[in-house]
Structure 1
Amino acid sequence: MQLDTLVLRLALSAIFGGMVGLERERKNQAAGLRTHLLICLGATILMMLSIYMAQAFPGDAADPSRIAAQVVSGIGFLGAGAIVRMGLDIRGLTTAASIWVVAAIGLVTGAGMYAAAVIAVGIVLFALGILERISTKVFPKAVTRRLSLSGEGLQERVETIRGIIEDQRVEIHGMSIDYQVKKEGVTMHLDVLIPKDIPVNQLVVSLSDIPGVKRVNLEFHPGT
């Protein structure tokens, strides 16, 4: 492989991986610019090594697809590391997918398939940016949160609390009640599915107006 071809493929690989990484960096993801750039660059190097091995050692023993196949399977470990559980939510699935596709972009760049790499980067950036905003507006997603109420006599007002929550199109997926015998207090924990178009302040105010309720807590977590 000529030096100019080698430099071109490595430079394009760094650019392609960096473009996707910048988008993830903008979303404050742990796997950002440097991670995506290095993954794409590493995949490109391994793909060029596969091509070199096939050319340097022709025959059945030199299979150019062998190293590429190992990259595809091995990148899953990095993707799994980007997926974390935060409370009741799962975060990092999109970043894990971007890591996987960046490795694929690195492979096609190393193989000299520049058009495929450019088109893939364009589609990835469209999916992570523009398509995300469109899907959020057209299909607002509901988010699972932990809702906690503390006070006195709440066990006698379970149906009232349930009615207020369900009247605002919030689904209850689970409920538990903690009794504090000595303090005569009760803490109620609910796992609720809240649509993004529902104003949570209104829900909190409605629950705070229930007689006996002294404290309302609704857990929040950062976005994807």
Structure 2
Amino acid sequence: MGKRVAVVLAGCGVFDGSEIHEASAVLVHLSRQQATVKMFAPNTDQMHVVDHLKGSPTEEKRNVLVESARLARGEIEDLGQLNVKELDAIIFPGGFGAAKNLCSWAVNGKDCSVNDQVKAVLQAFHAEKKPIGLCCISPVLAAKVFPGCEVTVGPSKMRDERYPGVPDTAEAISQLGCKHVCKHVDEAHVDEKNKIVTTCAFMCNAPLHEIHDGIGVMVQEVLKLA
């Protein structure tokens, strides 16, 4: 029998919501493993709306749950309805929405706050010893909620145009009392103690198939722990 996995979305679109390719890769790999998926998103306003053609914010207002429904083909529930007892694992795709709508990392860095529902869900899965998968920037959620945990957001803390956002993020994670583990884009890191599995995805400027493969490794490791 396939595992029951929650996938938490943060909108629709890399600059103000969930990264679409990452969300799709998570769903494809879960499907290959015959997992039963339930999708959720918080019923709250986005931090802002970004015109993805111009790359700049607009005056528009959008709702995270409504926008996430685009990715979920309408099959999505309010995150407040999630029941950890009915699920075996949870996965968070990345995208700026994870750092803008699920927490305020994009604005406040390590001093960010995490959405109350997101924090409660993470703590519930952790308390039940059920695995948590995160990719791209979303591992900062674990770093903020679980001091001392181990995550990866990229292969190196050195400055490199191939992963421009990694060094600062890795340093901030370390300042939160967590361990940043360097992993390449097609790898995942498993924190066995906390059952947290992370992969860097689009934190690296890498070919799409390598990002897809790394997310596949993350999904496989999450399901092994479930």
TM-score, normalised by the number of residues in structure 2 = 0.27
Greater gyration radius: 1
**Higher share in helix:** 1
TM-score, normalised by the number of residues in structure 1 = 0.27
